[in-house]
Structure 1
Amino acid sequence: MRISIVIPLHNESPNISPLLEAIRNAGIGDDYEVVLVDDGSTDDTVAQVKLHADDHTKLVVLAKNFGQTTAMMAGIDAAEGDYIVTMDGDLQNDPSDIPIMLDKLETEQWDVVAGIRQNRQDGFLLRKLPSKWANWLIRKLTGVHMKDYGCTLKVFKKNIAKNLGLYGDLHRFIPVLVQMQGGRMVEMEVKHHARQFGQSKYGLGRTTKVLSDLLLMVFFQKYLQRPMHIFGLIGLLSFAVGGMINIYLLILKLMGQDIWGRPILILGVTLVLAGIQFLIFGVLAEVLVRIYFESQGKKTYYVREIFHQGSSTAPHSQAVS
């Protein structure tokens, strides 16, 4: 199988027929599969898929609504293609962009080609403005400079997609996860259409989720393999400040002043105790990291290629750094 197109679905019944027809007419040849993942739809999405499916269609029905990230990972796990494409099922992504993206990936030797929604057909206040702000914040905190983190349309090499490690709502941070693997990534403009049927699953309510997931991604990106560097730093600073406050109060006490009941005394003791706790957290986190990697045989590095004279072999399975 050359190409697997992974599409999470949640209550997209009216979009199924035109979506599959658009993929058939996208010019991607015959060596492909469409992996549709039903994420707990409450309408007749599953029935519509079965009605309009052909030999290229694979349907994965999840037991309940797990969310887009989990549905996407379930589709990637079920995909058999050498190249894996992710896209939305709401007809806003255009399958005709896939051959162009795939050609760019192959000819220029990228690991991932991500879409930038050209002339984005969404509302400004509820969709475009929050997206622009989120894109800017993610770029600043992660150092991964992508113009459009929210575009689902992406083409991956199989080994990259299979090792993304998607959990929770981390599909928004796929570029960061790719960067953590050492993957080479580029963006290109793709078409974007207005939604014709159904309602958008996105809104301002996702803002807090994005912010909390962003903090998690920054930790994973910078401190996953060395958590003591963050917990130890905070612990040492807290302990040092608290220690200096307590030494200052001790000097005042030796000079005969009454220090009991002063707020600064409570602050000093609290900072010392907090510093000790952070240092303990750092040690425990270091132990957990070693359990995580060593118990599962995971590696802390990514091998792109192994070369021998007369042959060059890319590994079939990779570990997320």
Structure 2
Amino acid sequence: MKPYVSVVICVYNEEGNIFPMIEAVDRAMSVYEYETIFVNDGSKDNTLGELKSVHNDRLVIIDLQKNYGQSMALAAGIEKARGEYIVTMDGDLQNDPSDIPAMLRRAEEGDFDLVAGIRANRQDGMFLRKIPSRIANWMIRQASDVHLKDYGCALKVIRADLAKSLGLYGELHRFILLLAALEGARMSQMDVKHHPRLVGQSKYGLGRTLKVMSDLILMLFLKKYLRKPMHLFGNWGILSLLVGLLINGYLLVEKLLGNDIWGRPLLILGVMLVIAGIQLIMFGIMTELQMRTYYESQDKKPYKIRRIYRAEETLFNEELKMKN
């Protein structure tokens, strides 16, 4: 039996792309039970009007109060999705819905929590889109130790329980694969088609580069130190404190030997390192307390169990195979 699927499409000023997108999704998903969720992220053109004019029982329209950004729009669509699998894609027709069935099969047959697309023949500008994207992919790969080929393709198939636990805030939609890796997801990638934009204007540009870099720092913290922040702040705090004490100890000996140490840059450095070390250690302790509050106030566990295998289940399955 095929799973029920939710196709979540975030749109912002995509007038002219709505009708062909809905038709393409309907063709691709004809053998599935599905719903198509369009999240209108505060469009200023006739995007909402076009959506409302469509008579389609499978169509769900979520109209946000204003433009919140792609991450918030995606989070709203995922929250309302009812499918066992959630498909995410852009509404500019550069992603091809005809790739969805093959990605769903990959997810089911390989027992993957997430299958992401790789834009094998990307139809974008070289200098403004492709080269910055390759640089960003390389940076993410090296910094996160999550070795995937294309982190930026919007076309993804995600198991619903994983999608609803990702926690999309700010502009973290660019890091869905890293967020999934933090959750311990089993992931796969496959080549998908990519088309040039025919209607409207791209919402991406070089201006997002600094945002990607700052969000990457956040992702690295979440990946390595969310459950043990003291290992980050405490280690640097202790190192700073020890170096500061060593410098001040040396200057104390100099003072006892009768040398003038007042106003020396080394004295200022030593005092600053001691203060910084104490502050980092205290900040690490406070962050540890906040981390514990985060889990305990929501009755969350700092771990997740995928499945429990019991001995009696294994014996039962073996007996069942022997009978068959």
**Fold match by TM threshold 0.5:** yes
List alignment gaps of at least 5 residues for structure 1. Answer: 312-321
Selected match of 1:69 from 59, 68, 71 = 71
Partner of 1:96: 98
1:171–1:239 distance in 2 versus 1, CA, 3 Å: same
Selected match of 2:168 from 166, 169, 186 = 166
Indicate the RMSD between aligned Cα atoms, in angstroms: 1.1
Instruction: Give SS of 1:13's match.
Output: coil
1: CA distance, partners of 2:11 / 2:80: 15
Contact 2:12 / 2:41 at 8 angstroms: preserved in 1?
A: yes
Contact 1:6 / 1:75 at 8 angstroms: preserved in 2?
A: yes
Partner of 1:317: none
Selected match of 2:49 from 47, 50, 56 = 47
Partner of 1:231: 233
> Deviations 1:165-197 (Å, cap 9, x if unpaired)?
111111111111111111100100000000011
Instruction: Give SS of 1:235's match.
Output: helix
Percent identity, aligned pairs only, is 56
With normalisation by structure 2, the TM-score equals 0.94
2: CA distance, partners of 1:201 / 1:104: 30
- The aligned length equals 311
1: CA distance, partners of 2:31 / 2:115: 19
Partner of 1:139: 141
The CA deviation at 1:146 is 1.1
List alignment gaps of at least 5 residues for structure 2. Answer: 315-324
1:27–1:296 distance in 2 versus 1, CA, 3 Å: closer
The CA deviation at 1:52 is 1.9
> Deviations 1:81-115 (Å, cap 9, x if unpaired)?
00100000000000000000001111111111000
2: CA distance, partners of 1:305 / 1:197: 46
Partner of 2:205: 203
Partner of 1:14: 16
Contact 2:116 / 2:157 at 8 angstroms: preserved in 1?
A: yes
Instruction: Give SS of 1:20's match.
Output: helix
> 1:57 aligned to 2:59?
yes
The CA deviation at 1:310 is 4.6
> Where does structure 1 differ by over 4 angstroms across 4 or more consecutive aligned residues?
none
2: CA distance, partners of 1:186 / 1:215: 24
With normalisation by structure 1, the TM-score equals 0.95
The CA deviation at 1:24 is 1.0
